[in-house]
Structure 1
Amino acid sequence: MNDQAPVSESRAVGPWDAIVVGGSSGAIDVLNVLLPALPVGLAASVIVLLHLPCDRRSRLVEIFGYRCDLPVLEAEDQQAILPGHVYFGPPGYHLLVDHGPRLALSIDPPVNFSRPSIDVLFQSAADCYGERLLGVVLSGANEDGADGLAAIHAAGGHAVVQAPATAAMRAMPDAALARVPASQVLTPEDIAAFLAQLPTQRLP
């Protein structure tokens, strides 16, 4: 597959109300590039979902809390989604977006052998935000996230995929590109630069 997929059909206009990011193996290294680039007072909410072992506590909030200029939280059931905040999905639960907007946690069966499932998050976020949503698929070793990214694209949102050649595990970005060929394909550094230019709120 051509790692630099055509982006002429891309609808990157923004601004977006929310950014959903999904990844698996190799994605934490990419998040180390992306999340510190998020600007202070970002107008969008950021919801990040990684495949995590369900038998141990996640340390992602600890890891990224001091590396980001935005508040970093672990998602809780029925938690209001606020702009300029980063939410990480907890292990062992599907993470969804409900109208409000609010986060919701579910113990429904795994999807694509995964709970949490990126597809579940992306599809629910597409239902809630429509064209005001930006979806990002990062490195990973399975196809989770491909159908969800297609849902975001179909709803009028914008799709970004990590360039497969830069991924530690390219199965996930390859699958996303197969489902959404119009995705914008970027290196981690270029995704970070893209995010760094997103609009911010007017702070008091």
Structure 2
Amino acid sequence: MNKAKDIVLIGGSAGSYTLIVQILEALPQRFDAAIAIVIHRNPRFTTKIEETLSIKLRRSVIQPRDKTAIAPNIIYFAGPGYHLLVEPDWTFSVDVSERIHFSRPSIDVLFDTAAEVYQDRCTAFLLSGANQDGADGIRRVREMGGKAIIQSPDDALIATMPTYAIQANAESDVYDDQQIISFFRKLT
């Protein structure tokens, strides 16, 4: 299996799911990047996000396990209760270490580890949410040469996460929802 040379990350919490679905619906049929998504979800509740989206989108939407190769044209969702990490050999690993900003999976963990491996071939989007998770990860993506984009607080259903990230990362780009969707529509 070919490994993805580029990775696009999406981090969101409360209020982000609808926009994430719109993003995924806008994707071209084929793209060369891998997409990795962290949504804060409670492991005590069973969700069928991956299964539902696979059917709706007619494409691979999976929850990676340890040593899952990061492949192009695949959408990966962090499993509830597990941090999702990118390893130097371009595979995922999962981990149950402590919560970050009360969250596991943590957006910061995925963004930090992906930035280390993919560097300038990493693009990260931080969306709606009610805590500070993702702000440090956005900074790390930028420090490693990647592109960091924060959803406009005016468009976010819950503006806490994007507002905090903008305050902590003044150099990051801020996109409204239509700009975010347009980015994914043009993904190659």
Interval containing the TM-score (normalised by the shorter chain): over 0.9
Q: Give, in whole Å, the separation in 1 of the partners of 2:162 and 2:57.
A: 25
* 1:19 aligned residue: 8
Query: What percentage of aligned pairs have identical amino acids?
Result: 35
Unaligned runs of 5+ in 1: 1-15, 200-204
The one-letter code of the counterpart of 2:65 is E
Unaligned runs of 5+ in 2: none
Deviations 1:82-109 (A, max 9, x none): 0010000100011100022101000111
**What secondary structure is seen at the aligned counterpart in 2 of 1:99?**
coil
Is the 1:39–1:69 Cα contact (8 Å) retained in structure 2?
no
Q: 1:198 to 1:182 in 2, by over 3 A?
A: same
The one-letter code of the counterpart of 2:98 is P
The one-letter code of the counterpart of 1:171 is T
Deviations 1:1-41 (A, max 9, x none): xxxxxxxxxxxxxxx70001100000101112111111111
* Residue 194 of structure 1 pairs with residue 164 of structure 2: no
Shift in Å, 1:69? 5.0
Q: CA RMSD in A?
A: 1.2
Deviations 1:133-184 (A, max 9, x none): 0000000000100000100001000011111111111011111111222222
Is the 1:36–1:68 Cα contact (8 Å) retained in structure 2?
yes
Shift in Å, 1:112? 1.2
Match of 2:63 among 58, 67, 74: 74
* Residue 38 of structure 1 pairs with residue 19 of structure 2: no
Q: Give, in whole Å, the separation in 2 of the partners of 1:68 and 1:193.
A: 17
- After TM superposition, list the pairs within 5 Å mapping 1:27-106 onto structure 2: 27-68=16-57, 70-106=59-95
**What secondary structure is seen at the aligned counterpart in 1 of 2:31?**
coil
Structure with more contact order per residue of length (Cα contacts < 8 Å, sep ≥ 6): 1
- The TM-score, its normalising length taken from structure 2, stands at 0.94
Shift in Å, 1:47? 0.2
Deviations 1:107-126 (A, max 9, x none): 11111111111101100001
Shift in Å, 1:43? 0.6
Q: Give, in whole Å, the separation in 2 of the partners of 1:63 and 1:168.
A: 23
* 2:105 aligned residue: 116
Q: Give, in whole Å, the separation in 2 of the partners of 1:68 and 1:43.
A: 17
* Residue 162 of structure 1 pairs with residue 151 of structure 2: yes
- The TM-score, its normalising length taken from structure 1, stands at 0.87
**What secondary structure is seen at the aligned counterpart in 1 of 2:154?**
helix
